[in-house]
Amino acid sequence: MKEMNRQRKLDFVKAVEEDIEVIVARHKRFVWLNNVDCDDYVYFIYITRKQLKFVDKKKTKINEYNVLCFNKMYTNYYDLMSSIYPILGEYLLDSKKMVEVVMLTEKLNPNYIQASGE
């Protein structure tokens, strides 16, 4: 029961543009993903789109749902950063928002965290 009260800090950045939500997350490397030339972390990118749908065919109540458009896991920070801009270009129309997401994602760099002392 005591372990349930402890929560690990999750590292992620989130950006929202209209109905598109981009989440880039970092997690300590899983035990089964040991590799000599990889970082201590694995990285995930999730892109969802909000969509309105009827709750029931007989009623007019509408709810908002998140539809997963894209997700991928990266074994190191370099691979994530080398492919993030083209991926964002598929879903975000505003180039300023794309640059903002890339700048936020740089905060997940292990070297950035060590330099800032977090």
Number of domains in the chain: 1
Q: Which residue range is the domain that position 104 belongs to?
A: 11-116
Of residues 49 and 30, more confidently modeled: 49
Q: Within its chain, how far is the Cα of 58 from the centroid?
A: 36
| Closest of 54, 58, 30 to residue 42, by C-alpha | 30
Tokens 């929560």 belong to residue: 7
Q: Cβ distance 23 to 80 under 8 Å?
A: no
Residue 21 lies in a domain: yes
Residue 47 lies in a domain: yes
Which helix (DSSP H) or strand (DSSP E) does residue 42 occupy? strand 41-54
* Number of neighbours of residue 23 by Cβ within 10 angstroms: 16
Residue 104 lies in a domain: yes
> Which residues, including other chains, have CB under 8 Å from residue 106's CB and lie 6 or more apart?
81, 112
Of residues 9 and 20, more confidently modeled: 20
Residue 87 lies in a domain: yes
The band of 48, judged by pLDDT with boundaries at 50, 70 and 90, is very high
Residue 3 lies in a domain: no
pLDDT, tens digit, 9 for 90 and up, residues 66-81 = 899 999 999 889 999 9
Residue 6 lies in a domain: no
What pLDDT is recorded for position 54?
83
Distance between CA atoms of residues 41 and 1, nearest Å:
28
Say whether pLDDT at 90 is over 50.
yes
Say whether pLDDT at 1 is over 50.
no
What pLDDT is recorded for position 57?
78
Residue 4 lies in a domain: no
* pTM check: above 0.85: no
Which helix (DSSP H) or strand (DSSP E) does residue 64 occupy? strand 62-74
